[in-house]
Homo-oligomer: A and B are copies of this chain.
């Protein structure tokens, strides 16, 4: 069976036995649902029409985000919706000059937020010393990620598209200043949201074969890594079709080579301390 074509309006094929482009090999799922079909059809959207994202749509995305689980119901995140063209442009520049950020009608900046707890503590005259620890910083990042991913899926269910902007961590101090973030809050990643421009040449990117990431009972590195050569071949072919070069292995090694490949993010630990997230 061949790869299912995804329509420009993101209507995926559904139903039991649907195949998917997600693994790039036409492998199918014996069990599925409309929701799973929508998830499997996910692609990054970096080209948007001039259509706006309405306030009602935004409220729906944030309600979905808030419905995600959160550690101990701490809800240790906030989100800043940026529409102002000048502010968006400045944030796009801080995030490595990625033009698509600038052209999205709304940029959602997801914030790991321990500042709310600090304010509660200050008003009560109590301490929240747990906010000084790496564990709690990570709760903030994970809570933000769970929430944001619900918003991504919600957006796609409304015909919107998005792309995460991890490069918001290239200059976290400047981003915090731009957004007026209080002590104890840091921007984790952005999410550019808009109506997908059907002219964008983008497909469903194949991921690692499932056997490379799913282990049973215990971790089996040898069995998992046996799937990597086939993936390199598939991703290389996909990249070739989309004007990109290189196989996965090369790209991973380049991206993780060392501090010089990290776009300034090797200092994140120091920056977090400056922003009031000591992460000890």
Contact = CB atoms under 8 A, between A and B. Distances in A.
Interface of A: 20, 22-23, 29-36, 38-42, 44, 54, 56-60, 62-64, 66-75, 77-84, 87, 111, 114-117, 119-121, 124, 126-131, 133-136, 138-139, 141-142, 145-146, 148-150, 152-154, 156-158, 163-164, 166, 169, 178-182, 185, 188-189, 205, 207-208, 210, 212-221, 224-225, 228, 248-249, 251-253, 255-259, 261-262, 265-266, 268-269, 272, 279-280
Contact of A129 (B126, B259, B279): B259
Given A135-B268, A213-B66, A130 B259 contact: yes
Contacts of A145: 141-142, 145-146, 149
Contacts of A215: 78-81, 179
Contact of A60 (B31, B220, B269): B31
A74 B256 contact: yes
A189 B257 CA distance: 27
Contacts of A266: 130, 133, 135
A29 to B, nearest CB: 5
Contacts of A208: 66, 75
Given A36-B60, A157-B36, A256-B74, A218 B179 contact: yes
A83 B217 contact: yes
B36 A68 contact: no
Nearest to A253: B126
Contacts of A251: 72-73
A166 B35 contact: no
Nearest to A248: B73
A208 B194 CA distance: 26
Contacts of A126: 253, 257
Contacts of A124: 249, 253
Contacts of A265: 133, 135
Q: Closest 9 A-B residue pairs measured CB to CB?
A: A35-B157, A145-B145, A129-B258, A33-B157, A128-B256, A180-B218, A135-B265, A30-B56, A130-B256
B142 A189 contact: yes
A71 B257 contact: no
Given A30-B56, A124-B253, 7 more contacts: A30-B60, A32-B60, A35-B154, A62-B210, A80-B219, A126-B253, A129-B257
A31 B44 contact: no
Given A81-B215, A149-B145, A217-B80, A39 B67 contact: yes
